Structure 1
Amino acid sequence: MASFRGTNMQAIVDACKAGRLAANPVVVISNNGEAKALERAMAEGIPGYHIGSAAFPDPDELDRLITNTLLEHEAELVILAGYMKKIGPYLLETYQGRILNVHPSLLPRFGGRGMYGRHVHEAVIAAGEKESGATIHLVVGEYDTGPILAQRKLTVQEQDTPEMLAERILPVEHELYVDTIRRIISGDLKLDSYSIEQSRG
Structure 2
Amino acid sequence: MKKLAVMVSGGGTDLQSIIDGIANGKIAGEIVLVISSKPGVYALTRAEKAGIPAKVISPRDFARQEDFFAANLAALQESGAEGIILAGYLSILSKEVVEAYAGRIINTHPALIPSFCGKGFYGNRVHQAVLDYGAKLSGATIHFVDEGADTGPIIMQEAVPVLPDDTVETLSARVLEVEHRILPESVALFCEDRLVLHGRTVHIL
- Pairwise TM-score range, normalised by the shorter structure: over 0.9
Task: Give runs of aligned pairs for residues 5-20 of structure 1, distance below 5 A.
Answer: 5-20=11-26
Q: 2:164 aligns with which of 155, 158, 168?
A: 158
Normalised by the length of structure 1, the TM-score is 0.92
- Residue 24, structure 1, aligned to residue 22, structure 2: no
Structure 1 residues without counterparts, runs of 5 or longer: 197-201
Give the whole-Å Cα distance in 2 for the aligned partners of 1:180 and 1:136. Answer: 7
Normalised by the length of structure 2, the TM-score is 0.91
Structure having the larger proportion of residues in strand? 2
What is the CA distance between 1:57 and its match in structure 2?
A: 2.4
Aligned residue for 1:111? 117
Give the whole-Å Cα distance in 2 for the aligned partners of 1:87 and 1:78. Answer: 11
Task: Give runs of aligned pairs for residues 116-131 of structure 1, distance below 5 A.
Answer: 116-131=122-137
Give me the CA root mean square deviation. 1.4
What is the CA distance between 1:195 and its match in structure 2?
A: 5.1
What is the CA distance between 1:194 and its match in structure 2?
A: 4.4
Aligned residue for 2:69? 63
Q: Tell me: CA distance 1:110–1:159, structure 2 relative to 1, closer, same or farther (3 Å).
A: same
Give the partner amino acid of 1:9: L
Aligned residue for 2:198? 193
Aligned residue for 2:3? none
Between the two proteins, what is the percent identity of the paired residues? Answer: 39
Give the partner amino acid of 2:198: S
Q: Tell me: CA distance 1:27–1:85, structure 2 relative to 1, closer, same or farther (3 Å).
A: same
Give the whole-Å Cα distance in 2 for the aligned partners of 1:143 and 1:157. Answer: 28
Give the whole-Å Cα distance in 2 for the aligned partners of 1:109 and 1:154. Answer: 13
Which string of whole-angstrom CA distances, capped at 9 and with x for unpartnered residues, describes residues 63-116 of structure 1?
Answer: 121111111111111000010011111111111111111000000000011111
